[in-house]
Structure 1
Amino acid sequence: MVLPALAAALLFAWACWCYGASPPVATAPAVAVGGAVLVGACAAYSVLVGGSGGLFGALFLALGLLLTVTAADQAASRGSTATCVVGEVHTKVEHSAGEGSPGPKKVYRLVLRCPGGYPAELKEDRPVAAAGEEVRVAYDPRRRVAPAVEGGASPWAAAVCAVLLLALCTVIASAKRDRSGK
């Protein structure tokens, strides 16, 4: 089945274009088109495969496509860097709901003092610097993607996980097809 690979390629191309377009693409149309591709691909997969294989395969497809967008975000150009001083560090604990959900997650929001005033803040899931310390921040001067710690986020982990999930949903579709004789 070619649907997972085609949907991933289309969504990756769309996300890369949205993150790199000049002028920047507005958030609402970017999310609407990306969401339509994701929902459409999952619905088509579910109908084509059918049964429980279609349900679980569509779930793996959705996760793989979301990781594809994550890889595009992490690969997006953050062509400028700045050495910024951390003014304040705010931590927030986010709780998940439901039985068997992951434990609480701590989010760190660093208020920055950077040359030129941008970026003004940085959000991370790990502590990167304390108040008064310096941190190197990579950012896009046109502000199309969120700033990140220089050298911090590699797109490879998200890309590998996306490929594995997309391969899994392809295997599910192939196995279902072999059993049904189509």
Structure 2
Amino acid sequence: MRDGEGRGGRPTAALPVVVAAALYGWAHWYFAGPNPPSAAVAVAVGSVLGTAACALYFVRTHGSGALFGVLFLAVGLLLTVTAADRAAGRAEVAVCVVREAHSQVQGSYGEGGPPAKTVHRLVLDCPGGYPDELKDDRPLAARGEEIEVAYDARRRVAPEPAGGTSAWVPAVWAALLLAGATLIAARSPAPGT
């Protein structure tokens, strides 16, 4: 067996890219495809694919970097799904009136945990009745104001403010983490070394 073709090496180094592409395709089909699977099937298949990839990566990657590689792979795959969600079409835009505006502080538990987070929830009156609410981490409008909301008429992705979030940020982070996992797998020692 040549060096680099045992547990680590090239076959495992290709795993993050292959699995990320498959997971992105699966998520994109669910979020934007014409005949997607049900939400339960989409989550189940995505979870099995991600878990199996992480397990296979950990088993095949040797050395102390295996744990970090699995962490990079897992977070990279989650960010891949986030990028697919944000890239999904929210083709409809509605001008809605804010009926109610609520803010709730979600506390942090434990010492050294993340800081408290404020979630802003708007109850909306939109033409046709949908969307009926919008959640964000920043205040978007006050009661009685109008707001433009982009949404998917098939209700597969959550509504967001028109001109809202971009898929580039999670896509770039996913690429960096998956590249890290790939590098760790490529540098993994062969068994018996």
Give the TM-score of the pair, scaled to structure 2.
Answer: 0.88
Determine which structure has more spread, i.e. the larger CA radius of gyration. 2
Whether 1:169 and 2:181 are equivalent positions in the alignment is yes
Paired position in structure 1 for 2:42 = 30
Partner AA of 2:89 in structure 1: S
Give the TM-score of the pair, scaled to structure 1.
Answer: 0.93
Structure 2 CA distance for partners of 1:32 and 1:91, relative to 1, 3 Å: same
Instruction: Write the mapping of 1:40-51 to structure 2, written as runs, cut at 5 A.
Output: 40-51=52-63
Q: CA deviation at 1:181?
A: 8.7
Instruction: Write the mapping of 1:69-88 to structure 2, written as runs, cut at 5 A.
Output: 69-88=81-100
Partner AA of 2:189 in structure 1: R
Paired position in structure 2 for 1:126 = 138
> Conserved in 2, the CA contact under 8 Å of 1:107 and 1:125?
yes
Paired position in structure 2 for 1:160 = 172
Whether 1:107 and 2:125 are equivalent positions in the alignment is no
Q: Tell me, which stretches of 5 or more residues in structure 1 are unaligned?
A: none
1:63-107 residue CA offsets vs partner (Å, 9 max, x unmatched): 000000000000001011011111111112223434422111111
Aligned counterparts of 1:50 and 1:7: Cα–Cα separation in 2:
19
What SS does the corresponding residue of 2:188 show, helix, strand or coil? helix
Partner AA of 1:151 in structure 2: G
Q: CA deviation at 1:131?
A: 1.1
Aligned counterparts of 2:67 and 2:22: Cα–Cα separation in 1:
22
Q: CA deviation at 1:16?
A: 0.2
What SS does the corresponding residue of 2:187 show, helix, strand or coil? helix
1:107-131 residue CA offsets vs partner (Å, 9 max, x unmatched): 1111011111110001111111111
Partner AA of 2:86 in structure 1: Q
1:12-69 residue CA offsets vs partner (Å, 9 max, x unmatched): 0000001123344321111000001110111011011134311111011000000000
> Conserved in 1, the CA contact under 8 Å of 2:63 and 2:188?
no
> Conserved in 1, the CA contact under 8 Å of 2:62 and 2:189?
no
Partner AA of 1:132 in structure 2: G
Count of residues paired in the alignment: 181
Q: CA deviation at 1:176?
A: 2.3
Identity score, percent: 57
What SS does the corresponding residue of 2:89 show, helix, strand or coil? coil
What SS does the corresponding residue of 1:10 show, helix, strand or coil? helix
Whether 1:136 and 2:162 are equivalent positions in the alignment is no
Root-mean-square deviation (Å):
1.7
Q: CA deviation at 1:175?
A: 2.4
- Which has the larger helix fraction? 1
Task: Say which structure, 1 or 2, has more relative contact order (CA 8 Å, 6+ apart).
Answer: 2
What SS does the corresponding residue of 1:176 show, helix, strand or coil? coil
> Conserved in 2, the CA contact under 8 Å of 1:24 and 1:144?
no
Partner AA of 2:130 in structure 1: Y
Q: 2:129 aligns with which of 117, 122, 127?
A: 117
